[in-house]
Amino acid sequence: MVDPMKYQYIVVEGNIGAGKTSLTQMIAAEFNARLILEEFSENPFLPKFYKNPERYAFPLELSFLAARYQQLKSELENRDLFKTFTISDYYFMKSLIFARVTLAEEEFKLYRQLFHIIYQSLPRPDLFVYLHVTPRKLIENIRKRGRDYEQEITYEYLQQIQDGYFDFFRQETTMRFLIIDTENVDFVNRPDDFVRIRNTIFEKEVQPGLNYVIL
């Protein structure tokens, strides 16, 4: 039975093009949950980064770090008593995952120091849902949604990001990670697929560590 009060704070994550924002919005709408969406559309460095990664990687990652921290700190400290729970389409740790791929070694060392100083002050989610999609399918999804600045994203880049997430999962043994293989699922256009994912999230008993489900 679906229990919308099972968790107080849920994160839905995934690689670029996995559908994390769409699923987060759909769940929030169904259960009257408080919705936190990553605010990146106004980041002036993002289009520049995709065209010239070496030049713009460091300012891009620093700007994301500051914006994510400011948003999450503000949103998570202020509870909304009229909402069943809080659900977000990103987790602060993604800053470190992406930075490890995009930054040069010396830049990443400095970035990591800054990251860990502020990471400890943010709450951990009760459940971390990761939508697992292969880079090949992600490329298809990215092309379909048609954002100009994303069209230069490569298979290799997506693979590195995916590897970074799974490294994080293996290191954070106390958190609950629910990895859902959605390679052959279209929860946006097929209501039955959405129900399957929703029920998996709210009905499955998720233990600390990695929990893997293929739909």
pLDDT at 198: 96
Q: Against a cut of 0.85, is the pTM above it?
A: yes
SS3 179: strand
- Give the separation between CA 72 and CA 91, rounded to whole angstroms: 9
In tens, the pLDDT along 151-195 reads: 888 999 999 999 999 999 999 989 999 999 999 999 999 999 999
Residue 5 confidence (pLDDT) above 90:
no
**Looking at residue 41, what is its pLDDT?**
61
Give the Cα separation of 205 and 48 in Å (integer).
43
What are 72-125's pLDDT values in tens digits?
999 998 878 889 999 999 999 999 999 999 999 999 999 999 999 999 999 999
The tens digit of pLDDT for each residue in 60-73 reads 999 999 999 999 99
Count of beta carbons in the 10 Å neighbourhood of residue 95: 23
Architecture of the 9-214 domain: 3-Layer(aba) Sandwich (3.40)
Q: 152 CB contacts (<8 Å, ≥6 apart)?
A: 50, 51
Alpha-helical regions (H) of the chain:
20-31, 45-51, 53-77, 94-102, 105-119, 135-145, 155-171, 191-203
- pLDDT tens by residue, 114-126: 999 999 999 999 9
Phi, psi of 190 (to 5 degrees): -120, 105
